[in-house]
Amino acid sequence: MNILLLGYGKMGKIIAEIAESRGHSIAGRITIDNMAELDSLAIKTIDVAIEFSQPEAAVENISWAISRGIPVVSGTTGWLHEKPVIEQLTKEKNTAFFYASNFSVGVNIFFKVNRFLASLMKDQVDYKISMEEIHHTEKKDAPSGTAITLAEGILAEQSRFQRWTLDEGQAIEADSLPISAKRIDPAPGTHTITYSSDIDDIEITHTAHSRKGFAMGAVLVSEWIQDKKGVLSMDDFLSF
């Protein structure tokens, strides 16, 4: 494959290393400083764009590629209020768009475990439910996309909640799931959901040891997406 990297920070560099080790080539490494290079790319030679940039750049990056019929695999979080626009553009251009808040296979299994536990606990009203996520200090959005996906899984099974709320020390309404977001280096990502009662606590935790699991997942999805069309997710990739 010939891969265009839209975003070339820490994740982009690891993705490039893994992709090249698997025999793929890198068509371009685009950052905010060299956007003009997009105009000189041989578009027809690009098989897929992997987009790990910043929330404020994601929509422009993804739209550029989708508009040219290039499949996009995106892991940037913090922009999803505009995702319907990208989904519509994907359909119009008859290409593929794949978004995941987290490309780690382990995390996606954790998503399923989280939702199953939330379902088991839906009638256990004596348990208070909360979430804590920890990421490195360079991560701008809070809570993380992974935390939001976990929260959505809980909300789908727990009728007591109508929304999630970022816990910033203020009082949180009873119908809102509190999420504590901490930024501590060099943590690549830890997510803990706690069910707490006067009798006992139940906790589930996923701890990432490095970014390699995320990067490998993005490369594997890019290989898989080559003959696909439409709006896709990790459920499609893992056949959940």
Distance CA 72, CA 139 (A): 22
Catalytic residue check, 10: no
> Is 135 one of the catalytic residues?
yes
Q: Which of 24, 135, 191, 206 is catalytic?
A: 135
213 is in an annotated binding site: no
Apex 94 CA angle, 225 and 2, nearest 5? 40
- Ligand-binding site membership of 22 (annotated): no
Tell me whether residue 74 is annotated as binding: no
36 is in an annotated binding site: no
Is 160 annotated in some ligand binding site? no
Q: Is residue 191 a known part of a binding site?
A: no
Amino acid at 149: T
Q: How far is residue 211's CA from residue 202's CA, in Å, rounded to a whole number?
A: 27
Q: Is 146 annotated as a binding residue?
A: yes
219 by DSSP, 3-state: which? Answer: helix
Sheet holding 96-99, edge to edge: 25-30, 2-6, 48-51, 72-74, 96-99, 230-232
Residue 77 annotated as binding site? yes
Residue 145 annotated in ligand binding: yes
Confirm or deny that 103 is annotated as ligand binding.
yes
Distance CA 89, CA 28 (A): 23
Nearest Cα neighbor of 180 from 144, 136, 138 is 144
Of the candidates 139, 212, 228, 229, the residue annotated as catalytic is 139
Task: Give the type of residue at 126.
Answer: D
The residues assigned a catalytic role are 135, 139
Q: Annotated binding residues for NADP(+), as ranges?
A: 29
Binding-site positions for (S)-2,3,4,5-tetrahydrodipicolinate read 136, 145-146
Binding site members for NAD(+)? 75-77, 100-103
| Residues flagged as binding site | 29, 75-77, 100-103, 136, 145-146
